[in-house]
Amino acid sequence: MKIAIDVMGGDRAPNEILKGALLASKEIESEIVLIGPERIVGETGLQFVPSSEVVKMDDSPLEVLRKKNSSMHIGLRLVSEGKVDAFVSAGATGPLFLGATSIVKKLEGVERPALGVAVPSLKGVTILIDAGANAKVRPEHLLDFAFMGIAYAKVLGVEDPKVGLLNIGSEETKGHEDLKKAFSLLKENLGDVFYGNVEGHDINSGTVDVVVSDGFSGNVALKTMEGTAKLITTTLKKVIKEGGILSLLGALLMKRSLNKLKERLDPRSYGGTFILGVRGIVVKAHGSSDAKAIMHAIKVAEKGIKMRIVEEIGRGINSVRNSGDGR
């Protein structure tokens, strides 16, 4: 197994990307292939492919197609040619998404790929799709997202995934016209698999296994969860410190549990999101990823390889479409 890393993508490139890649190389089975300028990647001792251009964070999506010698373009091309099994980048979402759909290509039957992320919930994880790739979508696209989300959930071991549509209320009449049309489409095509409308708090509650959304709302929800997690951990530290000696002693006794809580809530622990619906494994890491987040994004990519996520989702989409009831 080989995983290519875009060393030049992200707000903290190249230093944090390299650190994350080196951390991951000690913990995973896959071989890591770094993509970046030789003067940077050639000193790491890891396999590398040199690049001479960079797709910047504020570049337009089309730049990934124009800059053929960029680390992002080369990584996507390596996936499309089967020379690596996965590609991880913390670069700009727009170029990466366009590159994945144009270079790696879409799976048959998928009109609009999407970002799918498994976020922590009270019942394990909830698949949030789309998490930021498609700001505006048609109702038919939300149905496609549901198909991909169901397939992804089954890959993760959920036998009978339930699907919810992210909305401002649980009632069928809530939301704008496109959401109402999407509700009807999901109900008609998924049957009992479709739970109905869900709200933001349902994502972490685990009310359903898959939450379907347009990329704008999904990304806002994801970033809000990340901010809330940081608020909880930061406030907890502050309260313990202000609580005096007894509070500190209590925290010391609960250190193991508190560390587990911190790890559970840390957005870096789920590292990256799959671009679902393309013919290869492409993982989008957060633009501000540090070394730990990059390490986890690489682990996400390796998990995708082992689960044969592309093949399973392609098979799952066809199965769900053909069955007519989401099963």
The CATH number given to whatever domain includes residue 60 is 3.40.718.10
For the question of whether the overall pTM of this predicted structure is more than 0.75, the answer is yes
Residues 251, 285 share a domain: no
The answer to whether residue 194 scores a pLDDT higher than 60 is: yes
Name the residue with tokens 């990584």: 75
Instruction: Report the pLDDT value the prediction gives residue 268, as an integer from 0 to 100.
Output: 58
Query: At residue 222, does pLDDT exceed 50?
Result: yes
In this predicted structure, what is the pLDDT of residue 4? 98
pLDDT in tens, 138-167: 999 999 899 889 988 887 888 899 999 999
Instruction: Indicate if 120 and 262 belong to the same structural domain.
Output: yes
Q: 128: helix, coil or strand? A: strand
CB 183 within 8 A of CB 197: yes
Q: Which residues pair with 115 in a beta bridge?
A: 275
* Interatomic CA distance for residues 277 and 141, integer angstroms: 12
- What is residue 257's predicted lDDT score, i.e. its pLDDT? 73
Domain coverage including residue 303 = 2-110+277-307
Domain membership flag for residue 326: no
- 327: pLDDT confidence band, cut at 50, 70 and 90? very low
Number of domains in the chain: 2
Total number of residues shown for the chain: 327
